[in-house]
């Protein structure tokens, strides 16, 4: 009879990914990566990705099943996007209904989503790289909640309705909130179920 081998428990982390970092641990030598923030365990993976220019809540785990579940269309992801210009009700309604975007030279109609204009800018720390000067015109903020995650989808959706994204911050994944977590902070949690 073989001796029983105890399987180590999976580990889970939340990170407030800063602007300018890749959502990975290895890769291009000149790019900033997540491993610079913490001594993560072997087998750690980002659940979904935030592109280099995006910020906010990123979930990390050593549990592949948990990663698959959270990346599924069953779990909502909420983003706050700062837009070039003052978005109007018509543009918000078009995003809510679904807009056509391009994904790797293929046209794709986004699923209906929850979207609304934020009446006041969120209280985020200034980005490490300035977005632009006020002299370039007004900006506005929207909340967009998706259950799908196509390549650069939020940016493509806001551009499709005439309001390019200047800053993008993920604030929620399922029931897990970014809250007041400082930029670059890493928190180990017992579970990723919020």
Retrieve residue 189's tokens. Answer: 């949690």
133 a catalytic residue? no
- Of 176, 178, 169, 179, give the one whose Cα is nearest residue 190: 176
- How much is the pLDDT for 87? 97
Q: Are 1 and 177 in contact, with CB atoms under 8 Å apart?
A: no
Retrieve residue 88's tokens. Answer: 């109007």
Cα Rg for the chain, rounded, in angstroms? 18
- What is the enclosing helix (H) or strand (E) of 165? strand 165-173
User: pLDDT tens digits for 83-107?
Assistant: 999 999 999 999 999 999 988 888 9
Q: Which residue has tokens 């959706």?
A: 157
Check: CATH 3.30.70.580 for 12-72+176-189? yes
CATH H superfamily, domain 77-173: Alpha-L RNA-binding motif (3.30.70.1560)
Handedness of CA 114, 115, 118, 121 (dihedral sign): positive
Given 39, 51, 63, 90, which residue is catalytic? 51
- How much is the pLDDT for 34? 86
- Of 82, 88, 80, 145, give the one whose Cα is nearest residue 114: 145
> CA of 162: how far to CAs of 8, 85, 110, 135, 182, in Å?
50, 9, 16, 19, 31
DSSP 169: E
Domain ranges of the chain: 12-72+176-189, 77-173
The rounded percent of the chain whose pLDDT value lies above 70 is 93
- Of 65, 34, 36, give the one whose Cα is nearest residue 49: 34
Q: Are 98 and 156 in contact, with CB atoms under 8 Å apart?
A: no
3-state secondary structure of 48: coil
Q: Is the pLDDT of residue 48 over 60?
A: yes
Rounded average pLDDT over 69-95: 93
Rounded average pLDDT over 65-79: 87
């Amino acid at each position: 009879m073989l001796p029983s081998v105890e399987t180590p428990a999976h580990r889970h982390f939340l990170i407030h990914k800063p602007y300018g970092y890749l959502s990975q641990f290895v890769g291009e030598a000149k790019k900033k990566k997540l491993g610079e923030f913490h001594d993560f365990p072997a087998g750690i993976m980002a659940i979904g990705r935030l592109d280099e220019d995006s910020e906010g809540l990123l979930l990390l785990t050593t549990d592949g099943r948990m990663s698959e579940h959270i990346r599924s269309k069953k779990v909502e992801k909420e983003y706050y996007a700062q837009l070039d210009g003052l978005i109007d009700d018509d543009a918000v309604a078009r995003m809510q209904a679904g807009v056509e975007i391009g994904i790797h030279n293929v046209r794709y109609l986004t699923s209906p989503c929850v979207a609304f204009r934020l009446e006041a800018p969120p209280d985020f720390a200034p980005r490490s790289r300035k977005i632009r000067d006020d002299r370039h015109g007004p900006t506005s903020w929207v909340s967009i909640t998706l259950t799908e995650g196509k390549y650069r989808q939020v940016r493509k959706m806001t551009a499709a309705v005439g309001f390019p994204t200047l800053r993008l911050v993920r604030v929620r994944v399922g029931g897990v909130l970014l809250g007041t977590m400082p930029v670059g902070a890493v928190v180990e949690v017992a579970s990723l179920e919020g």
